[in-house]
Amino acid sequence: MENYIVLLGELRRRISSEMLPQLDLISKQAAIENPWFTKLNIELALNGWISALEDNKVRRWLSNKMSTKISRKIGIVAAGNIPLVGLHDFLCVLVSGHSVVFKKSKSDQVLMDYMFKLLTDIDPSLKDRILFTDRLNGVDAVIATGSNNTSRYFEYYFSKIPHIIRKSRTSVALLSGNESTAELSALGKDIFSYFGLGCRNISKIYLPQGYDILTLLPILEQFDFVKENNKYMNNYDYQRALLMMNLDRFYDTGNLIVIESDRLHSGVSVLYYEYYTVLDSVKSDLISKSDQIQCVASNCYIGLNEVALGQTQYPELWEYADNVDVLDFLLNI
């Protein structure tokens, strides 16, 4: 695995020295393809990868892992909701010793092409192990990410080969009521980063009974960069109009619609909240919905592998989507 540690270390260096200095150009190209991919969001994704690919973290991730003795063709159907969301699966296949048959999302081709160029500039032999395609024919296993609807198609189509099929997930925050202003601002980052489109974005918050929601709203109102994105504001206007037509009660910060609800998955520009009386009841509720939740942001420490407020968009290499260890899957095919 030492050669992959060197490879990923050099990839980290080149993201920092080559991609970040070209961020203006790259973001303009990516935004033509996908208006959700703003300069701010691409920078967030790149900095996340620079953090994740630190040498000590890569060593921890790959410790006691050996490359497969038999190389297989592993198909990847990538999502395109946030920048470079398919890169983790891509790297998992490479470091496991397999070949990648990669179906890029039409929403995230520019950035993946940059990453492919960086990797093959570092190690030209990787070109023989990477194929970009529109159809996954002749693969030995597959990793596919999609919606709850497309997952049923994936389950049927790839039923006869080893597979990981991911469905829609979201993330939640659990507040104790004792959070500082800085912690609540950090929560705002978890809500608004990537315009709320990622599975690690907070779509719902749990509040202690008696918590005054009005104390939180001015903090969320400060994240007004979302107003500069027409797609986000179109969603906001639609959701607001729909609620007004239905005479539903909601709070409006001008950049976010906040609604009391027992549901988890909120639409773009919408945040749900729910009150609780005891933490044990919240824990039981979250456990029962664990197949829908990617992560829990909290400082309550109730034993659900909580992440700190403001850190949901910085997963480590060993923190896998849907909590399925992709590297173990690949090494045991």
Same domain, 6 and 136: yes
Beta partners for residue 103, in sequence order: 77
d(CA 217, CA 214): 5
Strand pairing category for 130-132 and 170-174 = unpaired
- Structure pTM? 0.94
Same domain, 103 and 17: yes
- Give me Rg for the CA atoms of the chain: 21
Mean pLDDT of 112-128: 96
Amino acid at 328: D
- Domain membership of residue 324 (yes or no) is no
Same domain, 288 and 276: yes
- Domain membership of residue 231 (yes or no) is yes
Of 83-87, 150-154, 304-308, give the lowest mean pLDDT range.
Answer: 150-154
Domain assignment of residue 208, given as a range: 170-298
Band the pLDDT of 298: cuts 50, 70, 90: very high
Q: Which 8-state DSSP code applies to residue 290?
A: G
Mean pLDDT of 298-302: 94
pLDDT for 200: 97
- Domain membership of residue 81 (yes or no) is yes
Band the pLDDT of 150: cuts 50, 70, 90: confident
189 close to 203: Cβ distance less than 8 angstroms: no
Band the pLDDT of 70: cuts 50, 70, 90: confident
* Total number of domains constituting the chain: 2
- Which two tokens mark 144? 């596919």
Final residue of a structural domain among 143, 168, 193: 168
- Domain membership of residue 234 (yes or no) is yes
Tally: H helices and E strands in the chain: 12, 11
d(CA 255, CA 269): 7
